[in-house]
Amino acid sequence: MALVFDKPSTRTRVSFETGVYELGGNALILRQGELQMARGESPRDVALVLSRMVHAVGIRTGPHATVEQLAEHASIPVINMLTHDHHPCQALADMMTLRERFGRLKGLKLAYVGDGNNMTRSLLLAGRLAGVEVAVASPPELSLPEAPGLEPAEAVAGAHALYTDVWVSMGDEDDAERRRELLAPYRIDAELLARARGDAIVLHCLPAHPGEEITEDVLYAERSAVWDQAENRLHAQKALLEHLLLAA
């Protein structure tokens, strides 16, 4: 499997490489600047060539169109390992974590509190497929058009899970100061957690910035399912690969 990383990664890199190894395969890690794509080779040509040499491609990059072009021209599965618009592998592991904790998905409520970003979009899509209600609390300036932001207290009422993500995603660094100001009221802390269901868990795709989108006490609290959630990247992606490769 070719794993193309145009951006940094802890979980995605290690879970995919380990997962491929555990399934009996071999992962080629291709970092920013190593493929000729960095010098203008088209995603179409890269897709045509990789399709003849490996069984699947994973890619983490900024522009979503690059993943779509690879997928359009590849004859092997192309997996989105994060773009600026989507992070589906994380959402898959998140649904697994919810099912592990609550024994079901249908009828659960997940409250996402924070920046309207790739994670928000993928959670909305995965939630719709799985029957999980996803309520989003984001400042109006940083809301997704498909999820106009609620107030945090409104979003978390009756929620089975509180979810947050970084305030400054990869690629949004130029806007960091404005984002921190707008997002200051959208932090998961003990007070907000107390407004959710008594058995609510806390989720975060990581990396975390304690003191920004989540307080340190909540991140490491017993109700934090964050470390199981990170581990589930490995299990969910192994199942994804098995599904894609056995179906092919």
Residue 60 CB: number of other CB atoms within 10 A?
24
Q: Would you say 124 and 136 are in contact if contact means Cβ atoms under 8 Å apart?
A: yes
Q: Where would I find the H helices in 143-208?
A: 152-156, 176-183, 190-193
Q: Would you say 202 and 193 are in contact if contact means Cβ atoms under 8 Å apart?
A: yes
**Minimum separation from the CB atom of position 205 to ligand NVA (A):** 5
Choose the contact partner of 10 out of ligand NVA, ligand CP, none; CB within 5 to 8 A by kind: ligand CP
Q: Would you say 155 and 111 are in contact if contact means Cβ atoms under 8 Å apart?
A: yes
Q: Pick between residue 97 and residue 169 the one whose CB is nearest to ligand NVA.
A: 169
Active site residues: 60, 87, 90, 165, 205, 233
User: In the block, which residue shows the tokens 């359009």?
Assistant: 72
Question: x-or-dash pattern for ligand CP, window 90-109, by CB under 6 A?
Answer: x-------------------
C-alpha distance from residue 77 to each of 7, 37, 43, 177, 208 (Å): 21, 19, 14, 39, 30
DSSP three-state, residue 120: helix
Question: x-or-dash pattern for ligand CP, window 61-90, by CB under 6 A?
Answer: ---------------------x-------x
List the one residue from 193, 205, 218, 240 that touches ligand CP (CB under 6 A). Answer: 205
Interacting residues of 3 by C-beta distance below 8 A, sequence separation 6+: 13, 16, 17, 20, 27, 28, 29, 30, 57, 58, 59, 81
Q: Pick between residue 215 and residue 237 the one whose CB is nearest to ligand CP.
A: 237
Binding site for ligand NVA (CB under 6 A): 82, 87, 117-119, 165-166, 169-170, 205
**Minimum separation from the CB atom of position 170 to ligand CP (A):** 8
Question: Within positions 4 to 63, which residues make up the interface with ligand CP, using CB under 6 A?
Answer: 9-12
**Minimum separation from the CB atom of position 184 to ligand NVA (A):** 18
Residues binding ligand CP (CB under 6 A)? 9-12, 82, 90, 205-207
